[in-house]
Amino acid sequence: MPAQGGAVSQGLNGGCATCNTGGGSTEATPTPGRTGLVSAAPIAGPPKTWSTGLKKILAIRLDFPDLIDIRTSDAGQKMMDGVLRQKYHDSSYGKTDLQSTVTPVVYRLPHDAGYYATSNSIWTLIQNDATPLAAANYDLAAYDRIAFSFPSLKAVPGSTVRAMSHAQYGGKYMWLNGGGFGFYTVAHELGHTYGLRHANRWKVPDGNPVNSKGRSEEYADNFDIMGDTGDPTLRDFNPWFKSLLGWMDGHVQTVTVNGTYRVNRFDNTPAATGILALKIRKNNALDYWISYRGSFAENPAIKDGAYIVWGHDGITETSELIDMVPATNYSDAMLPVGQTLTDSSARLRITPIAKGGIAPNEFLDVTLEFY
């Protein structure tokens, strides 16, 4: 039995030697990797009305007297009406939709860039100065989300800004430092306003993926929009995040007894139907969420295994990708068919035994053993 809580064993097929609501903010500085399994400051998830239904977004374009933005609104409007709206519609299985307005006018803030960039209250200052400017043309109370977009302040002498963007957890506002409307940046920050934290990876000191002495590595689930790097158009929110937002109702099976269970591919809308995730209790704070991704078709390591994260019970926190090959990069994090993840502290064995179906209607059969 593994000493630190679990291990991945090689099966017959081989292939693996070891396997606030309301306004708290994020993104100003990446937080250090947390150790342990329970957050020091858990908060309840957002009400489902906050994360479902039509959301009206107003993106207010801004610049400064000494830092002018000469770009037009066309590209931003196209992105928000196109890939961003499609991603949120698809990821939520139609539970949410976006209606975006990017202001054609660039509103000039009353102070030079340095006034904002060197302040420890930069986001509040920009919001306070921008709000009355935009309110002359828009009823801000009619919008569910408001984004402030402005030229980058990172290079301003004495700048305190270290992030490309900033948002409120479960709040109304986000700030796009850089003035652009890149899909990943907006999709990620919008996820924070919906109530999500970061998609992290459980980084362990050895080859045991579930070693309790690991730590939470910020942004390191690169399959998730709330992580970092990777092709953003292929990434999707993990099933635990979707469950928090009310997007997975009727698609999650909680497992408490031994058996083999089928889970359908979850990152495939509109064809995603049936059971899209298996939920298994790990301890009094965490659950295993087992699912099957199919979007990364060029990577057989992803297509041929189970995507497993830890989710916290009933609270909004970071998710933790369980990486079956901790010594390598994230691209082979899945648990392959024929291999077993053993978590001795949870007295649980997880073994994908077969995959099937024809794209995009694929599935994975997983054997779960409680011992």
pLDDT, one tens digit per residue, over 188-240 is 999 999 999 999 999 999 999 999 999 999 999 999 999 987 777 889 999 99
| Angle made by CA atoms 264, 9, 239, in degrees to the nearest 5 | 30
DSSP letter at 80? I
Contact 150, 60 (CB under 8 A): no
Instruction: Among 84-93, 314-323, 334-343, name the one with the lowest average pLDDT.
Output: 314-323
State the sign of the Cα–Cα–Cα–Cα dihedral 317, 322, 328, 330: negative
- For a pLDDT cut of 90, what percent of the chain falls above it? 74
- For a pLDDT cut of 70, what percent of the chain falls above it? 87
Q: According to CATH, what is the number of the domain 48-194?
A: 3.40.390
> Nearest 5°: phi and psi at 198?
-80, 155
Using CB atoms within 10 A of its CB, is residue 237 exposed (0-12), middle (13-18) or buried (19+)? buried
Return d(Cα 312, Cα 106) in angstroms, integer: 42
Return d(Cα 371, Cα 340) in angstroms, integer: 14
Look at the block and give the residue holding tokens 């082979």.
Answer: 332
Residue 2 has pLDDT above 60, yes or no: no
What rounded mean pLDDT belongs to the chain? 87
Return d(Cα 241, Cα 196) in angstroms, integer: 7
Structural tokens at position 80 = 């928000």
Instruction: Among 79-83, 178-182, 206-210, 236-240, name the one with the lowest average pLDDT.
Output: 178-182
Q: Residue 55: which of 165, 148, 171 has the closest Cα?
A: 171
Mean of pLDDT values over 62-80: 95
Mean of pLDDT values over 308-317: 87
SS3 76: helix
Using CB atoms within 10 A of its CB, is residue 311 exposed (0-12), middle (13-18) or buried (19+)? buried
Q: Is the pTM of this model over 0.75?
A: yes
Residue 364 has pLDDT above 80, yes or no: yes
Q: Residue 129: which of 147, 142, 111, 117 has the closest Cα?
A: 111
Mean of pLDDT values over 300-308: 86
Residue 175 has pLDDT above 70, yes or no: yes
Mean of pLDDT values over 32-61: 73
Residue 1 has pLDDT above 70, yes or no: no
Contact 169, 149 (CB under 8 A): no
Question: Which residues have CB under 8 Å from 258's CB, separation 6+?
Answer: 368, 369, 370
Mean of pLDDT values over 40-68: 88
- Where in the chain are the domains? 6-19+198-370, 48-194
Identify the pLDDT of residue 318: 95
State the sign of the Cα–Cα–Cα–Cα dihedral 6, 11, 13, 16: positive
